[in-house]
Structure 1
Amino acid sequence: MSAETSATTPTTTAAASEPQTLVAELLGTLVLVFFAVGSAVLAGEFVGSLGIALTFGFVLLGLTYTLGPISGAQLNPAVTLALLLAGRLGPRAAVAYWVAQVVGAVVGAALLFLVAHQVPGLKTGEAFGSNGYGHRSAVGLSIAGSFVAEVMLTALLVFVYLSVSRRGTLALRPLDGLPVGLTLAAVSLVGIPLTGASVNPARSIGPALFAGGDALVQLWLFVLAPLVGAAIAVLAHRLTHREPHAWFADIPWLSDKLGGAGGGRHGRPAGEGDAQAGDPPGTSR
């Protein structure tokens, strides 16, 4: 393994389940919800859709620089699902990431809820930065249109994440945060008038729990659609990029059924200790 990948870099399922990585995912999702969703709840009338979209992008950019080398700064169950489907993350580690992300989002929303209630006259019921379709969409977008929009927006975000992240490790380099953060800002700018721009089930679950009412009734779409978008992004990435990992690499029987193309036996990621063609001797990715 190259010197670039240190002992603290999450390169395996075991490392991905270490307390540091899970705490990083919990705290990162907490911060993302508190500040980014908070920009909509507390300052939306002052900064507008552009300001909210930039806040999402800038917060993710900062978190990628600080947490990317620790956990990959996924902070999004859709991104975690994509890494699982792509064979870069094991099932147990993925579940641990999902739990950490959802808990972080709920705690972040709870802290935001406490702050919001200190603002005189601020209403949080059925709003509170939650996502919605139909009468809860700024443009009245239908349920079908909202589903397609969330799928496409999430697919773009996840595709960029898969493309810039290193093969054979879950870590992100600091500069990887630039395209990921800018993409989140872009999809948020497009998606805010449509659905409030979820592209992240955890980001939707936290605020919806405190908004209540129709926010909870419509929550299913903003959990399911981003996950579908993530699966589409994995397929698109397979078609456009050389991927050394087999499908479901950590589930040998399923990986073998799907061909195990690109990896070692049972889909072992080629990036884990295997140098790629053209690399200097003794290096790995």
Structure 2
Amino acid sequence: MKKYFAELVGTFILVLFGCGTAVVAGDKVGILGIAVAFGFALIGAAYGIGPISGCHINPAVSLGVWSAGRMKIGDLIGYWIGQFVGAILAVSVLSLIVRGGSGYAAGQLGQNGWGPGYLGGYNITSAIVFEFVATLIFVVVILGSTQATAPSRFAGLAIGITLTAIHLVGINITGTSVNPARSFGPALLVGGHAMSQIWLFLVMPSLGGLVAGLLFRLKALEASAEAEVEVKRETVSV
């Protein structure tokens, strides 16, 4: 249960500060500021709860870890529950906060979307391609930077920087999801059009994470045993 609660806390941190920056200060800090907020929130969470749960804080990441053979199905379900609950709680808190400000805009809680009237107005094809490819890349970085041969102390930093870069590209396309829980929380509270589009942000990131995990399970990207030996030899020599 400690792992699942840690995932709840980590997802809460990511969604509150990422979506919170977009809603409260997006007009002041712009795309760069929002992207950095998501990346820094992830880095902070990674070093805070990483030793407990690995800091997935993203159902697509957990699905990738499972498909790579690094997680049992029971833990996958527990992680998902913690992540979705954490996202919903974070958006609930954010909603209470923004309602107390003079600049409150109803229905604006950092929800994802696409089409006319949403940020860059990109169509559904753009949204599908971006969310799948971006999540695939994101989970590849996570699985690669956390395998045995990688310098584990820098994994959180590498993952956070990658999430920042993904947001820089994707905010105008979909608001950047690559995380079903991050999308579901705002959509649930906003309802309406946001909920009608939520399927894409549940399905495409999940598929991206699943494919990334399979690439490692099939040894296409997993470091070889020889590479592990070489890394250990170099570490000893240093």
TM-score (normalised: structure 2) = 0.90
For residue 123 of structure 2, the aligned residue among 116, 119, 142 is 142
Q: Which structure 2 residue ranges, 5 or more long, are not aligned?
A: 234-238
Q: CA deviation at 1:236?
A: 3.6
Q: Which has the larger radius of gyration?
A: 1
Q: Partner amino acid for 1:44?
A: G
Which position in structure 1 is the counterpart of 2:100? 118
Which position in structure 1 is the counterpart of 2:189? 210
Is 1:81 matched with 2:63? yes
Contact 2:59 / 2:179 at 8 angstroms: preserved in 1?
Answer: yes
Is 1:151 matched with 2:132? yes
Distance 1:174 1:240, change over 3 A: closer
Moved over 4 A (4+): 276-280
Which position in structure 1 is the counterpart of 2:3? 21
Give 1:23-42 correspondences, 5 Å limit.
23-42=5-24
- Structure 1 CA distance, aligned partners of 2:199 and 2:153? 33
- Structure 1 CA distance, aligned partners of 2:50 and 2:224? 21
- Structure 1 CA distance, aligned partners of 2:82 and 2:193? 26
Contact 2:4 / 2:79 at 8 angstroms: preserved in 1?
Answer: yes
Which position in structure 1 is the counterpart of 2:236? none
In the alignment of these two chains, the number of paired residues is 227
**1:7-28 Cα distance to aligned partner (Å, 9 max, x none):** xxxxxxxxxxxx2211110011
Which position in structure 1 is the counterpart of 2:163? 184
Is 1:54 matched with 2:36? yes
**1:171-226 Cα distance to aligned partner (Å, 9 max, x none):** x9442111100000000110001000000000000111111110010001011010
Distance 1:29 1:72, change over 3 A: same
Q: CA deviation at 1:243?
A: 6.7
- Structure 2 CA distance, aligned partners of 1:196 and 1:77? 18
For residue 224 of structure 1, the aligned residue among 203, 210, 215 is 203
- Structure 1 CA distance, aligned partners of 2:50 and 2:120? 35
Contact 2:144 / 2:221 at 8 angstroms: preserved in 1?
Answer: no
